[in-house]
Amino acid sequence: MVKCNWFFKEAAIYAIIATGGKQYKVSPGQVIKVERLPGEEGTSVELGEVILIAEDGKIITGRPFLEGAKVKATILSQGKDQKVIVFKYKPKIRYRRKRGHRQPYTKLLIEQIILNEKNWG
């Protein structure tokens, strides 16, 4: 199988961060939706739980997180996701429960990945 460079192009630098109980692979300029974070639209946020940073094929990991590493982001919007219907049903007992849930989220624009220089040593 022949790999085409334009198809498998990776970002020059990326990080894996943990927020809201989930992990996200982020790179500068990317827009992601995460669990609700405190803050108003347009304010800056620093995400400090950085698990991994890769730059030009050089990878550094933390145990469990990298000390001094941060990801700076800007809050684009706060909102609620689409409604999820939770329906419980037990046959022959006349038991039915229908509930809806809309998960709150924060839309972030990743601006830069900051790394403590002593980690590369």
For the chain, the DSSP string reads -PPPTTTSPPPSEEEEEEETTEEEEE-TT-EEEEE--SS-TT-EEEE--EEEEEETTEEEE-SSS-TT-EEEEEEEEEEE---EEEEEEETTTTEEEEEEE--EEEEEEEEEEE--GGGG-
> In Å, how far from its chain's centre is CA 104?
14
Note whether residue 65 is domain-resident.
yes
Average pLDDT along the chain: 89
Note whether residue 21 is domain-resident.
yes
Note whether residue 90 is domain-resident.
no
pLDDT bucket at 4, cuts 50 / 70 / 90: low
pLDDT bucket at 56, cuts 50 / 70 / 90: confident
Over range 11-36, report the average pLDDT: 93
Instruction: Please state the domain count of the chain.
Output: 1
**Range(s) of the domain holding residue 64:** 13-78+105-116
Note whether residue 63 is domain-resident.
yes
> In Å, how far from its chain's centre is CA 34?
6
Note whether residue 88 is domain-resident.
no
pLDDT of amino acid 95: 97
